[in-house]
């Protein structure tokens, strides 16, 4: 069985300034995996082989290009994507890529997405968190969303660090490491990214761009658990062409990244179904072997296991 994982991170020094690396160094569990993030060669391939991961779709870890000032970002991001394309070209059967984009210049982001897909064959782009406090339903990002829809490639919405004022209100007054992790992987990331995709739905973005595709990781960022209530509350007032929940059958896919136990997968299967789910690891933040164990042991049919492992994503990303 071919196994493709699509939320698999790497780090390029051009997108990790010294202050960002110093911030990561405050958290021992993150500092320990920095070497894995920067490795795109033998050690990464060995980790993949040990767990039976045939292909990774690579994307830059946070903090990403979204943090770069607009004037600096275009050239830096272009180089980042060119460097990733060289890695993919050296291992075309093992690696594919999501582009980094200069998101503080939305028009330039649209141009770079077109270049990365057209020149390098990238599968789409990953967008990390808010862009200067703005979600993608902001009209400024319409050119990028239209370009993605026209190209037929998805945008992967991934969390990033919350704005300082948000972090202070929700996560302030706690021990530093505890507060930082509660604001990010321990809770805050998932809530913010769920809100991000729900804003795209509720503001009619998918009605205006029915061919726009979005991928959301971390087993749907808690949306599967809450989807029935979300639909009941929002659908009567959102003035959309279809119920809110239906957009999760037409425009949105979830991945299993970061989750290695069956109950969250069971919830997602029960709400959106196997055809909207894609296997991922969240490497190196999650261990390949643990993620693969969920894929192998989940009580689902052989046909569904093949869909989760590779079938759905082969069709979506053409890998």
The tokens of 42 are what?
């033998």
Q: For 166, phi and psi rounded to 5 degrees?
A: -70, -45
Mean pLDDT of 51-66: 96
CA 209 distance to own-chain centroid: 20
44 HSE (CA, 13 A, CB side): 25
Closest CA to 278 of 5, 9, 2: 5
Tokens of 29: 């569990």
* % pLDDT > 70, the chain: 95
- pTM for the complete prediction? 0.95
Share of the chain above pLDDT 90, in %: 87
Q: What is the mean pLDDT of the chain?
A: 95
The C-alpha atoms of residue 70 and residue 15 are separated, in whole angstroms, by 13
pLDDT over threshold 60, residue 312: yes
Alpha-carbon distance of 84 to 259, in angstroms, equals: 26
CA angle 133, 139, 143 (to 5 degrees): 110
pLDDT of residue 32: 76
Q: What are phi and psi of 75, to 5 degrees?
A: -70, -40
What domain range includes position 131?
4-317
Tell me, what CATH number does 211's domain have? Answer: 3.20.20.140
Give the 3-state secondary structure of residue 8.
strand
Overall domain count for the chain: 1
Q: Give strand pairing partners of 253.
A: 215
Q: Residue 173 burial (CB < 10 Å; 0-12/13-18/19+)? A: exposed
Q: Alpha-carbon distance 191 to 76, whole Å?
A: 30
pLDDT in tens, 269-305: 999 999 999 999 999 999 999 999 999 999 999 999 9
- Indicate whether 143 pLDDT > 90: yes
pLDDT tens, 144-170? 999 999 999 999 999 999 888 988 999
Q: Round to whole Å and give the CA distance between 267 and 225.
A: 6
Element (H, E) at 254: strand 252-255
Which tens digit of pLDDT belongs to each residue from 242-261?
A: 999 999 999 999 999 999 99
Q: Residue 274 has what pLDDT?
A: 99
Band (176; pLDDT cuts 50, 70, 90): confident
pLDDT of residue 196: 98
Looking up tokens 């200069």 gives: 102
């Amino acid at each position: 069985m071919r196994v493709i994982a699509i939320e698999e991170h790497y780090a390029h020094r051009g997108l990790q300034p010294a202050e960002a690396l110093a911030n990561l160094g405050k958290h021992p569990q993150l500092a320990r995996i920095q070497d894995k993030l920067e490795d795109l060669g033998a050690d990464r391939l060995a980790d993949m082989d040990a767990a039976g991961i045939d292909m990774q779709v690579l994307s830059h870890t946070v903090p990403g290009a979204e943090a770069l000032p607009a004037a600096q970002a275009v050239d830096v991001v272009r180089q980042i994507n060119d460097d990733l394309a060289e890695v993919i070209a050296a291992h075309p059967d093992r690696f594919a890529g999501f582009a980094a984009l200069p998101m503080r210049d939305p028009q330039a982001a649209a141009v770079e997405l077109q270049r990365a897909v057209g020149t390098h064959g990238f599968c789409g782009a990953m967008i990390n968190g808010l862009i200067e406090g703005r979600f993608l339903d902001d009209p400024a990002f319409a050119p990028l969303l239209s370009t993605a829809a026209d190209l037929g490639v998805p945008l992967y919405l991934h969390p990033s660090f919350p704005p300082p004022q948000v972090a202070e209100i929700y996560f302030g007054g706690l021990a530093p490491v505890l507060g930082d992790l509660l604001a990010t992987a321990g809770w805050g990331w998932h809530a913010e990214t769920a809100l991000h995709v729900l804003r795209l739905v509720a503001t009619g973005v998918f009605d205006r761009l029915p061919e726009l595709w979005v991928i959301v990781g971390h087993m749907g960022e808690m949306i599967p658990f809450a989807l029935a209530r979300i639909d009941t509350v929002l659908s009567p007032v959102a003035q959309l062409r279809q119920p809110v929940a239906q957009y999760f059958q037409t425009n949105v896919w979830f991945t299993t990244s970061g989750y290695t136990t069956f109950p969250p997968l069971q919830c997602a299967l029960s709400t959106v179904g196997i055809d909207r789910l894609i296997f991922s690891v969240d490497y190196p933040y999650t261990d390949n072997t643990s993620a693969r164990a969920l894929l192998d042991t989940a009580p689902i049919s052989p046909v569904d296991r093949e869909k989760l492992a590779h079938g759905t994503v082969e069709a979506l990303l053409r890998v």
